[in-house]
Amino acid sequence: MGARRRRHLRPGTASGCVLAGVLTAQIIAVPAASAAAGPALSVDVSAARHPISPGIYGLNGGDPAFNAEIGQTVARWGGNATSRYNFKNHTYNTGSDWYFENIVADEDHSVEGMVKSNLDRGIKPVVTVPLSGWVAKDSPSSHPFACGFPATRFPQQDSFDQWDPHCGNGKLGDQNLTGVPADTSIPADAAFDGEMVSHLVDRFGTAAQGGVPIYELDNEPVLWSSTHRDVHPEPVSDDELGSKGTAAAAAIKAADPSAAVLGPSGWGYCEWVASGVDGCGPGADSAAHGGLNLSQWYLKTMKDYSDAHGGKRFLDYFDQHFYPQISGDKTPEANALRLRSVRSLWDPTYVEESWIGPSGVNAPPLQFIRTMKSWIDRYNPGTKTAITEYNWGALDDINGALAEADILGVFGREGLDLATMWGEPKPTDPGAYAFRMYRNYDGAGSRFGDVSVSATAADQGRLAVYAAQRSSDQALTVMVVNKTGDDLASPLSLAGFDNAGAAQRFTYSPANLNAIVRGDDLPAADGRIDATYPANSITLLVLPAAGCTATLQVNGGWSTGHVATVTVTNDRRTPITGWRVGWTWSGNQQITNSWNTTLQQNAAGVVAADAGWNGRIGPGGSTTFGFQASGTAPPPKLTCTPA
C-alpha cells in the first residue's frame, strides 16, 4: 500500500474557479506520411448495447463552477473524518490523518451543509454513516483541541502538532500507544445511524422525496485499527464488519425505506480479500467463514440477512476503493505504467506490476470491475457496483488526463454504476479536460453518449476506443485515447449505424492544454473513417445519425384555409419501421382534416405519426400524408424522427 492521503471532511464544495472552454478553431491536419500506422478500430452500434450510468461522473468535492460545467452527477461526503462524525454536535475526528483531533465543522462542512449544497445544484449526495462504535464528543472549537493522544496523558511521543502541541501522533519509538476512547469520543451504535438518517429526512425529505439518496456504511473499516486506533486499535474481523453493517443498514432502511445503502468501501486489494484479522490473504478468519474472502463473505452476509427479513434488500451498492499501487512520479517510465495500470480495472490478461502481482502477494489479474460483478452474481445478485474513491494521479499533466479519459471510458463500457474521484483536478488541470471530453466537449454542454456500444481496438495499449449512442439525438460518439508518443493513423470501421454526414472532431492534446479544439470534420463514407490521432491525445468523434426528412407542399389555399401534402423520406441505408413529423404553427391555425397519418394538435404544436401500414419506408424511399387546416401562413419548419 502506498502513502495514504490526509482524509479530512469533504464538503463537496470549494471556492474559486477559472473556467476553461472550447476553442473553436481548425486543427492543422497532420500529413498522413508523418504518422505511424496505428491499430485498426471498429465500432458496432448494434452490439453490446447497455446504458451508461450517469453516476460514474461523480466527484468527492471540487470547484463548484467546474462541477456545474460538467454536470456533476454524484458527490460523496466521505473519508476518514466521517467515520467519527457526530451530527448532533457537528464534530469529527481527524484520526491518524492529523493527530487524532476533534474539529467542530462549520455550516459549509457539516453534513447538512453538504447535502443542501448538492441538492440545490441537482447533484446526488452520498452520505457516510459511522460504524466503528464511536463518534466525536462535545469539544472546543478552537485550540487546544480534544485529541486521542493528549500530552497530559502521553507526555512522550514521536511527534506533536506544531499548531497544537497538546496533541500527539500516538507513537513512541515508532510503536503505537494505547489511547483512551473517552478522551475524544462517545459510544455510537446502529441506533445512532438511524437517528442521523431520520434527522436528514426531517430536514430534506426521504430519498423518494428528493432527499439523500444513498448512505455509505463508513469508510475503509479494515483500516480503523490504523486510522482510528485511538478508539479502535483491534483489527476488524469478518463478524464485526458483518454484524455492524447489517445492523446499520437495517437502521437506515427503517428511517428511510426509499434510500439506498452502499458498502463496505475498502481501501484496496488487502481489504477486498481479507479482514483485518487475516491481513492480506486467506487466514483463520476466512477459514472460519467457509473459505470466502472478505468481499465474498460480506456480500453473502448481506444476502443472508435479506433472506431472513422477507427478501428486503439491505445492500444496494457493493463499493470498493481503487488506488493503483504506482508512484505519483511523472517520469517516462512512471507515465507508461500509469497508462498500463488502467487495465487492472477490466483486462483478464493484465498481470499486476506492483506488489499485488508476482513480486508480492502474486494475486491473479485483478480485472476488478468484472471481478466485482462476478462476486455479486454468485453471492448477492442484483447489487450494483461502485468505486467511491479512485485516483491515478498526475492530473496536472497530459498523462493523467489520458489515464482519466481511459478510466471514464472503462467505467461506461464495463457497466459500473457509480464512481466518485477523490482528489479532484483543478479546473485548469489537464485532468479536468478528461471530464470535459465526456461532459462538455463543445463548451455548450454536449456530452458523450449514454448507451454504450461495442468498440474495439486491435491494440488497446496504443489506442483505446470507447463508443456510445446519445439517446437525445441518436448521434454516435467515439472516444479515442492515443497513449503513445507518436501520431497514429488508423482506420475506424462503423457497423449498424447510418450517419447523416461527416464526423465532427474534438481534440485535447499537448498542442493546446488550455482548450478542447474543434478540428476539421472527417469524411465518413461507406462505414469508414480515416483519421490521424495526435500523440498523447484524446479525440472525440461525433457522428450525427441519419434519420428521415419531411418536406411540405401547399396544394391549394383560400382566404380561410389551405390543403398541403407532406413527403417523408428515409435518409438511411436501412429501412425505418415508423416515423413522426412535428411542427409548430406561427399563428392560430387548426388542423380540420388529415389522411394517411395519425395526427394530434395541442395548441400550436402538431405531431403527425405514421398510420401503421405506411410506417415502413425502404432505404431512400418516401411516403406522403396530407392535411387540411384553417388559416393561411408560410409553411412551418418540419422535424422528422424515425420511430
pLDDT of residue 246: 98
Q: In the structure, what pLDDT confidence band is assigned to residue 433 with cuts at 50, 70 and 90?
A: very high
| Same structural domain, 432 and 557 | no
42 domain-assigned: yes
Say how many residues make up the chain.
643
| Same structural domain, 505 and 566 | no
| Same structural domain, 478 and 573 | no
Kindly give, in sequence order, each residue whose CB lies less than 8 Å from that of residue 546, ignoring residues fewer than 6 positions away.
498, 499, 500, 571, 572, 573
pLDDT 10s digits, 314-370:
999 999 999 999 999 999 999 999 999 999 999 999 999 999 999 899 999 999 999
pLDDT of residue 23: 52
Kindly give, in sequence order, each residue whose CB lies less than 8 Å from that of residue 131, ignoring residues fewer than 6 positions away.
83, 193, 217, 218, 221, 244, 245, 248
Q: How many domains does the chain have?
A: 2
| Same structural domain, 486 and 357 | yes
| Same structural domain, 444 and 488 | yes
182 domain-assigned: no
Residues 23, 562: Cα–Cα separation, whole Å:
48
Q: Looking up cell 425529505, which residue turns up?
A: 205
| Same structural domain, 338 and 451 | yes
Domain of residue 42, CATH code? 2.60.40.1180
Residues 201-214, mean pLDDT to the nearest whole number: 98
The last residue of one of the domains, among 515, 546, 577, is 546
pLDDT of residue 24: 44
pLDDT of residue 468: 98
With H, G, I as helix, E, B as strand and everything else as coil, classify residue 198: helix
339 domain-assigned: yes
The last residue of one of the domains, among 495, 524, 546, is 546
Answer whether residue 14 shows pLDDT above 70. no
Q: Looking up cell 473517552, which residue turns up?
A: 182
Residues 97, 195: Cα–Cα separation, whole Å:
27
300 domain-assigned: no
Give yes or no for a contact between 267 and 1, defined as CB atoms under 8 angstroms apart: yes
Kindly give, in sequence order, each residue whose CB lies less than 8 Å from that of residue 100, ignoring residues fewer than 6 positions away.
93, 94, 147, 148, 149, 167, 169, 170, 179, 184, 230
Cell of 317: 451498492
* Cα–Cα nearest to 69, from 428, 467, 452, 450: 428
To the nearest whole percent, how much of the chain has pLDDT over 70? Answer: 95
To the nearest whole percent, how much of the chain has pLDDT over 90? Answer: 90
Residues 467-479, mean pLDDT to the nearest whole number: 95
Measured CA distances, 590 to 5, 205, 594 (Å): 66, 45, 11
pLDDT of residue 500: 82
Answer whether residue 608 shows pLDDT above 80. yes
Looking at every residue in the chain, the average pLDDT score rounds to 94
Domain of residue 636, CATH code? 2.60.40.290
pLDDT of residue 66: 98
Least confident of 210-214, 496-500, 530-534, 625-629: 496-500
Measured CA distances, 383 to 273, 289, 323, 418, 571 (Å): 18, 21, 22, 12, 42
| Same structural domain, 498 and 556 | no
Query: Beta 476-482 vs 463-469: how paired, if at all?
Result: antiparallel
Q: In the structure, what pLDDT confidence band is assigned to residue 16 with cuts at 50, 70 and 90?
A: very low
| Same structural domain, 613 and 502 | no
The last residue of one of the domains, among 504, 522, 546, is 546
225 domain-assigned: no
| Same structural domain, 349 and 498 | yes
pLDDT 10s digits, 485-531:
999 999 999 999 988 889 999 999 999 999 999 999 999 988 999 99
pLDDT of residue 33: 55
Answer whether residue 13 shows pLDDT above 60. no
* Cα–Cα nearest to 140, from 154, 127, 129, 150: 150
Answer whether residue 591 shows pLDDT above 50. yes
Residues 227-244, mean pLDDT to the nearest whole number: 98
pTM of the model: 0.90
**Cross-strand bridge partners of residue 247:** none
Range of the domain at 349: 22-72+334-362+396-546
| Same structural domain, 517 and 409 | yes
pLDDT of residue 18: 39
41 domain-assigned: yes
Answer whether residue 459 shows pLDDT above 60. yes
DSSP 569: E
pLDDT 10s digits, 33-66:
589 999 999 999 999 999 999 999 999 999 999 9
**Cross-strand bridge partners of residue 44:** 454, 495
| Same structural domain, 526 and 494 | yes
Q: Looking up cell 476518514, which residue turns up?
A: 80
95 domain-assigned: no
Residues 216, 194: Cα–Cα separation, whole Å:
13
| Same structural domain, 487 and 598 | no
Residues 85, 376: Cα–Cα separation, whole Å:
30
pLDDT 10s digits, 260-277:
999 999 999 999 999 999
Q: In the structure, what pLDDT confidence band is assigned to residue 568 with cuts at 50, 70 and 90?
A: very high
pLDDT of residue 144: 94
Residues 187-206, mean pLDDT to the nearest whole number: 98
87 domain-assigned: no
Q: In the structure, what pLDDT confidence band is assigned to residue 484 with cuts at 50, 70 and 90?
A: very high
Residues 39, 96: Cα–Cα separation, whole Å:
48
Give yes or no for a contact between 395 and 379, defined as CB atoms under 8 angstroms apart: no
